[in-house]
Amino acid sequence: MSDNPIFDKLDQIEKRYEELTAQISSPEVLGDSARYQKLARTHGDLAQIVEKYREWKQIDQGVREARQIQVESTDAEMNTMAREEEKQLAERKAAIEQELKLLLLPKDPNDGKNVIVEIRAGTGGDEAALFAGELFRMYSRYAEAQGWRVEVLESSPSSLGGLKEIVASIEGKKVYAKLKYESGVHRVQRVPATEQQGRVHTSAATVAVLPEADEIDIKIEPKDIRVDTFCSSGPGGQSVNTTYSAVRITHVPSGLVVSQQDEKSQIKNRAKAMRVLRARLYELEQQKQHDQIAAERRGQIRTGDRSEKIRTYNFPQNRVTDHRIGLTIHQLTDVIDGKLAPFVDALVAHYEAQRLNQELVDA
């Protein structure tokens, strides 16, 4: 066994993993869905580390056995084979140790959560609304490719078929871990269909990705909310429902207001509104606990002005550029069609490398 102190931590993690394996199979936990979900999430988070650690232990055993052969054997050919095997296993062992260091980095506790995505048209009028609609389709198609589930919670269409704003939930495995770097201002440059002179226009839309809070994360007291009901309406004020099915929930302590009218049922609208409210309250709580992270996120999103951008989609040049990491891809159609993996993977790798470097500096 190694004298590296990280292996003491790995032993503790493996022990905790085995305890959780037993707990999530017990009738007591299986009968409590909220507790089961919380324990199962922790169990899933530890699984990759434990699997990798067990692989390391197996290889470490192989290294020691190869060395033992070299000590005990008088057969020259056997010794040569043992030395070669030890070399190969030692290289693999060192590589796994590096992987374990990355896996042991402090995790964002929200990485395993589902998300609420809010997309709003910014500078650019109708063209910005059309772009907001395209961004939503882009994320929907990416989600579909990942096997995630998308549900629209609130939407406000524009007159030309775009979206002034849309709020949706995305559910699946490690959704927040992959989409959290999408928050910010997205800029589009292209010639609008209504442009007679062929001039390129620049528009923008803002994207906010919020981890969806469970009831066990955020407890909303009934006395802290005010619920108003009203008749839902369509574009231009056209009535689409004569019953009081639309819901407006005001969280009095924070002043947050959430409206929901997409469903014909008041109960369904209220449930959707509560999900959005819970996510926004959770985000506020996270901001209080992590002021530095919150300041960075606010700096990314800001007001939706065209100059404040994280990514630019340039149609005339068939180019998408992420300005934070300097990555440019000349396959705009593919990206808009939901093939976001090159950006998602590069952003995750970039920020993980930053965190590892910071850990080494702080150590």
Residues 145 and 275 in one domain: no
Residues 63 and 137 in one domain: no
Residues 41 and 130 in one domain: no
Residue 185 lies in a domain: yes
Residues 32 and 97 in one domain: yes
**What value, to the nearest 5°, has the Cα angle with vertex 255 and ends 253 and 261?**
120
CA 279 – CA 227 distance, rounded (Å)? 18
The domain that holds 273 is classified in CATH as 3.30.160.20
Strands 311-314 and 184-190 come out as parallel
Residues 181 and 316 in one domain: yes
Residue 301 lies in a domain: no
The domain that holds 19 is classified in CATH as 1.20.58
Residue 363 lies in a domain: no
Instruction: Say which amino acid occupies 65.
Output: E
* DSSP characters over 169-234: EEESTTHHHHHGGG-EEEEEEE--TT-SS---EEEEEEEEEEEPPPTTT-PPPGGGEEEEEE--B-
CA–CA distance from 75 to each of 81, 86, 88 (Å)?
Answer: 10, 16, 20
The reported pLDDT for the residue numbered 194 is: 67
Phi first, then psi: what are they for 127, rounded to 5°? -65, -40
Return contacts of 321-325, CB within 8 angstroms, 24+ apart: 322/346, 322/347, 324/181, 324/350, 325/350
The domain that holds 174 is classified in CATH as 3.30.70.1660
CA 311 – CA 187 distance, rounded (Å)? 6
Residues 139 and 210 in one domain: yes
Residue 254 lies in a domain: yes
Residues 260 and 141 in one domain: no
The reported pLDDT for the residue numbered 284 is: 84
Last residue of a domain, one of 239, 255, 287: 287
Residue 255 lies in a domain: yes
Q: How many domains does the chain have?
A: 3
CA 363 – CA 347 distance, rounded (Å)? 24
Q: Evaluate whether 182 touches 348 at the Cβ level (below 8 Å).
A: no
Residues 195 and 211 in one domain: yes
The reported pLDDT for the residue numbered 76 is: 87
Instruction: Say which amino acid occupies 205.
Output: A
CA 75 – CA 235 distance, rounded (Å)? 86
Residue 257, domain extent: 222-287
Residues 247 and 337 in one domain: no
| pTM of the complete model | 0.67
Last residue of a domain, one of 43, 68, 103: 103
Residues 94 and 32 in one domain: yes
Identify the residue whose tokens are 């964002």.
Answer: 108
Residue 197 lies in a domain: yes
Residue 360 lies in a domain: no
The reported pLDDT for the residue numbered 297 is: 45
Q: Evaluate whether 312 touches 200 at the Cβ level (below 8 Å).
A: no
Residue 299 lies in a domain: no
Going residue by residue through the chain, which has 363 residues, state the pLDDT in tens, using 9 for 90 and above: 455 678 888 999 999 999 999 999 999 988 888 889 889 988 988 998 999 999 999 999 999 999 999 888 888 889 899 999 999 999 999 999 888 888 888 778 888 889 999 999 998 888 999 999 999 999 999 999 999 999 998 899 988 889 999 999 999 999 999 999 999 999 999 988 767 677 889 999 999 999 988 766 778 888 999 998 888 765 444 445 556 788 999 999 888 999 888 788 888 898 899 989 989 998 888 777 666 544 544 544 444 444 468 999 999 999 999 999 999 999 999 999 999 999 999 999 888 878 777 665 555
Residues 209 and 346 in one domain: yes
Residues 228 and 167 in one domain: no
**What value, to the nearest 5°, has the Cα angle with vertex 59 and ends 55 and 357?**
65
